[in-house]
Chains A and B, each alone.
Chain A
Amino acid sequence: MKLIDRLYKDAPLATRGEITPKLGFLLTVLLAIVWLIPFLWMGVATLRPASDGINTMAELMPSVKPTLDNIRDAWEIGDFPRYTLNTTIICAGILLVQFVTITLAGFAFARLAFAGKTLIFYLFLMQLMLVPVLLIVPNLSLVAQLGLYDTLTGVMMPFFASAFGTFLMRQAFEAIPTELEDAALIDGASLLQRIRHIYVPLSMPSFSAFAIISVTSHWNDFLWPLMVINSPDKRPLTVGLSVFTKTAEGTQAWGTIAAGTLMVIAPLLVTFLIFQKRFISSFVTSGIK
């Protein structure tokens, strides 16, 4: 109890003796431990040698003779380097095109007056409300008509425009003082030059917030690439992992599955642990992606 008391030392004096908030805190600590158990198991099982047998597979105490065999097996059985490359290409490609589209559209909404602004605003807002994953059927037939079935470009294309990103950039651009732009205008800078040299450099925090949301959500996308991609060598990590899991499940190779899962989520987890604050604040702004 002493330890918890210390956590509440900056609470108002009158409430410091209250017991209910502390019980809630204890419950949350317990649940946080439960929340971590799948990750803990993943780590322990990855390092557990197959010789420990299937009956100790669930043991959360690490094995006494840890091994990297599972990681090597997963690396060899699943084509993880290739999957990682594909996912990286997809995420980077989407993000690069999005940066262009959301910067231009965000600027138009932030700084320009134009006919039909209200209508176009609502057209953008509609994308925010329509969940793209529901439109898989019509989008698949469009991608096929464009000759992009079974290509990474086909996977990327539906996400090139982002209403969420546009509104985020609009907000960032509106906060930039117009005097800066006026000064550049006097120096004869064109519209695109002003966006490129004044608005973009001053909006980096918003770009990075958007990048975090965009990359995490497309890193984790499963259903859409599952439908568009047919060739094994074009699979992204998520589709690759699901196929790999199916195969390894048949042979009860749970250590290998744990190792494969670890490889898929490690890049995101490491980045999150380094940039924790940024991730959390970006996810708060995201709401509906």
Chain B
Amino acid sequence: MSLAEPAALPVATSAAPRLDVLKRLTTRFKASLPAYLLLLPSLVFLALFTYGAMGRVFVDALYQRATPKAPLHFVGLDNISAVLADSAFTGAVVNNLIYAVGTAIPSIGLALLFALALSRTNAVSSALRAALFLPVLIPMVAASALFMFIFLPNVGLLDYYIGRLLPVLPNWLGDPDIALYAIMIITIWKNAGYYMLFFLAGLQAVPEDVMEAAHLDGAGPYMRLRHIILPELKPTFLFVTVIAILNAVTQVDHVFVMTQGGPSNSTNLVLFYIYQQAVEHYDVGKASAATLLTLAALMGLTALSFRTMATREGGP
């Protein structure tokens, strides 16, 4: 408050505050209008296919039809409790958890190994990087077509070369105890090269002089990895783990092509369950309830990284 300020100011502003606010809002809106027009095309599609879709999941999860042609009626939380009581769903959740852990840990571990081994740039290492990255590019469906032969009993690639070493030839995709692990191998093969890129980028941030200082102090390769490189890569680990878990839920095309969730539901994953409910059983209510539960779980996960992502994208 400066002393030169005249004391009459409060009288002037108290005249018509409502009108004033309205006026300020319209001028702000007018000033913002060009930006709104530029954002409009994006917002229309986001409203339809992202926010609107979420809204519809909520609503659809509350309704049910007695038969596919019968009218909709409100059932409240019945769909959700029906899904939770469905052993196929809980089985799919358990499978998906095993699948998530069993694909995330090996592929992240391999990605770290690849990145550490190939962090120097030369012709050999970039050729190796390209080789490890190739599976990332191809459709999951194409990978499934190749692995269908690899896992083929007796004549397939795996049995032809490695099967001779085993006492009994396993039926990779036909044995309920093995099929889920066979499916995981494909995912690891396909994703390790992708996660490697993030570790390669993360390794660039490890300060060279700190590494040099560590050599001089007599730190061996393991000590340097444990005390310098890994702490420096912590944000990369978090980021890659979130992506790996999201992939474990969403990237399941090979289940559709190779096993259809079988044998005896051993490779049934959540997204396949949702698809089955919606497309094969025409049960939109149950499919929506399962979607809702999955969304809630994933949003809980991504909420943890929300702040990091907001800053990554430059903040509002």
Q: Do A and B come from one complex?
A: yes
Please give the residue numbers on chain A whose beta carbons come within 8 Å of chain B beta carbons, in ascending order: 7-8, 10-12, 14-15, 18, 20-21, 24-25, 27-29, 31-32, 35-39, 41-42, 45, 54-55, 57-60, 100-102, 104-105, 107-108, 112-118, 120-142, 157-158, 160-163, 166-167, 170-171, 174, 191, 216, 219-223, 226-227, 237-239, 241-242, 245, 249, 254, 257-258, 260-261, 264-265, 268-269, 272-273, 276, 279-280, 283-284, 287-288
Interface residues of B in 124-173 (CB under 8 A from A): 124-126, 128-150, 152, 155-157, 159-161
Q: In the bound complex, what is the Cα–Cα distance between A10 and B50 (angstroms)?
A: 50
Enumerate chain A residues within 8 angstroms of B60, measured Cβ to Cβ: 137-138, 141
Pair B134/A36 contact, Cβ less than 8 Å: yes
Pair B50/A127 contact, Cβ less than 8 Å: yes
In the assembled complex, the CB of A151 is this many whole angstroms from the nearest CB of chain B, namely 15
Please give the residue numbers on chain B whose beta carbons come within 8 Å of chain A beta carbons, in ascending order: 28-29, 31-32, 34-36, 38-39, 41-46, 48-54, 56-57, 60, 110, 113-114, 116-118, 120, 122, 124-126, 128-150, 152, 155-157, 159-161, 189, 193-194, 197-198, 200-201, 211-212, 215-216, 220-222, 239, 242-243, 246, 249-250, 253, 256-257, 271, 274-275, 278-279, 284, 287-288, 291, 294-295, 298-299, 302, 306, 309-310, 312-316
Contacts A114-B32, A132-B49, A142-B53 known; A21 to B287 CB distance under 8 Å? Answer: no
Pair B140/A222 contact, Cβ less than 8 Å: yes
Q: In the bound complex, what is the Cα–Cα distance between A24 and B156 (angstroms)?
A: 30
Pair B197/A284 contact, Cβ less than 8 Å: yes
Contacts A38-B147, A139-B49, A142-B48 known; A220 to B298 CB distance under 8 Å? Answer: no
Enumerate chain B residues within 8 angstroms of A113, measured Cβ to Cβ: 31-32, 35
Pair A161/B41 contact, Cβ less than 8 Å: yes
Enumerate chain B residues within 8 angstroms of A268, measured Cβ to Cβ: 137-138
Q: In the bound complex, what is the Cα–Cα distance between A261 and B250 (angstroms)?
A: 22
Given known contacts A12-B215, A58-B156, A191-B34, what 19 new A-B pairs fall within 8 Å (CB)?
A18-B221, A21-B116, A21-B117, A28-B114, A35-B135, A36-B134, A104-B42, A105-B39, A108-B35, A113-B32, A121-B310, A121-B316, A125-B306, A127-B46, A127-B50, A223-B256, A257-B145, A258-B146, A287-B239
Pair A223/B253 contact, Cβ less than 8 Å: yes
Instruction: Give me 23 A-to-B residue pairs in the complex whose CB atoms sit less than 8 angstroms apart, sorted by A's number.
Output: A24-B113, A24-B117, A25-B117, A28-B117, A32-B132, A60-B157, A105-B39, A115-B31, A118-B316, A120-B43, A124-B46, A136-B274, A137-B278, A137-B287, A142-B49, A157-B49, A161-B44, A220-B138, A222-B253, A241-B141, A260-B145, A265-B139, A284-B200
Enumerate chain B residues within 8 angstroms of A269, measured Cβ to Cβ: 134, 137-138
Pair A27/B253 contact, Cβ less than 8 Å: no
Q: In the bound complex, what is the Cα–Cα distance between A102 and B43 (angstroms)?
A: 11
Pair B287/A20 contact, Cβ less than 8 Å: no
Q: In the bound complex, what is the Cα–Cα distance between A257 and B243 (angstroms)?
A: 31
Partner of B128, one of A10, A28, A58, A170: A28
Pair B314/A27 contact, Cβ less than 8 Å: no
Contacts A15-B215, A18-B220, A32-B131 known; A131 to B198 CB distance under 8 Å? Answer: no
Chain A residue at smallest Cβ distance from B119 = A21
Enumerate chain B residues within 8 angstroms of A216, measured Cβ to Cβ: 137
Enumerate chain A residues within 8 angstroms of B302, measured Cβ to Cβ: 129
Contacts A101-B45, A112-B38, A125-B313 known; A131 to B250 CB distance under 8 Å? Answer: yes
Pair B53/A138 contact, Cβ less than 8 Å: yes
Chain B residue at smallest Cβ distance from A102 = B42
Enumerate chain B residues within 8 angstroms of A32, measured Cβ to Cβ: 128, 131-132
Pair B48/A227 contact, Cβ less than 8 Å: no
Q: In the bound complex, what is the Cα–Cα distance between A124 and B295 (angstroms)?
A: 17
In the assembled complex, the CB of A231 is this many whole angstroms from the nearest CB of chain B, namely 16
Enumerate chain B residues within 8 angstroms of A237, measured Cβ to Cβ: 139
Enumerate chain B residues within 8 angstroms of A55, measured Cβ to Cβ: 155
Q: In the bound complex, what is the Cα–Cα distance between A139 and B274 (angstroms)?
A: 13
